[in-house]
Amino acid sequence: MVEKPGLRAAAAERTRRAIVAAARRHLVESGYAGFGMERVAEEAGVTRVTIYRRFGSKLGLLEAVADDLAARSRVVPLLADAEAGDAAAAFRAMVSGLCAFWGTDPDLFRRLISLAAVDPEAQELLGSRERWRYGRITAFVERLAAAGRVRAPFDALGAAAVVGAVTSFPACDEMAARLGVGFAELDGPLTALLASVADLDARGGADGGGTDGGGGTGPAR
């Protein structure tokens, strides 16, 4: 009996998901130094050859884990949805979206960021995603600037730098720990803090809606 292409594709996708899930668990538990393909293969029920054929290398598997994290968090549609409304409302929704993003899998974020500090290839991998995040933040801040909402002494570039730093995972992780709250509860404190950078009060839609701040298709590879 000949296996149908659709069934083969579904089986291949299940295998890919099993490998990525095993890699995520192993990375969180052991760190990158102990991130062994043999153990990942054993947990996923495949051979090391299968992993290398699908992902090419240890770094390729790490990239798949990062991509899976972004997909689980829905950060791309969350930030796309945040573009609706006036500049201030869109910015507040963007902050909420980033808080939700960080809260998806904090243990994995901690491991990935620690890894980027010591491994140049991992640093570039995560750096491309941070550049995407800063690009999206800049687009939201530029809408605030166009609406005359960025406060002195900041210009759009300086405001985007501050927002990017304050809403980074390390900053949010420490704030959540010190406040004793979950990431989803940080949007209020963060918005209050960032009100020193821009006027984030509602003005009845006077700034206009739409997606005038530009777009993006997702985290860069």
The CATH number assigned to the domain holding 121 equals: 1.10.357
pLDDT of residue 213: 37
Q: Are residues 58 and 80 in the same domain?
A: no
Q: Is 150 helix (H, G, I), strand (E, B) or coil?
A: strand
Q: Is residue 45 part of a domain?
A: yes
Asked if residue 82 and residue 41 are part of one domain, the reply reads: no
Q: pLDDT per position in the chain (221 positions), as tens?
A: 445 667 778 888 999 999 999 999 999 988 777 778 899 999 999 999 999 999 999 889 999 999 999 999 999 999 999 998 899 999 999 999 999 999 999 999 999 999 888 888 889 989 999 999 999 999 999 999 999 999 999 999 999 999 999 999 999 999 999 999 999 999 999 999 999 999 999 764 445 444 343 333 344 43
Domain with 79 in it: 74-194
Number of domains in the chain: 2
Do 189 and 99 belong to one domain?
yes
Residues 118 and 97 in one domain: yes
Q: Contact at 8 Å (CB) between 121 and 163?
A: no
Q: Are residues 20 and 44 in the same domain?
A: yes
Q: Do 80 and 62 reside in the same domain of the chain?
A: no
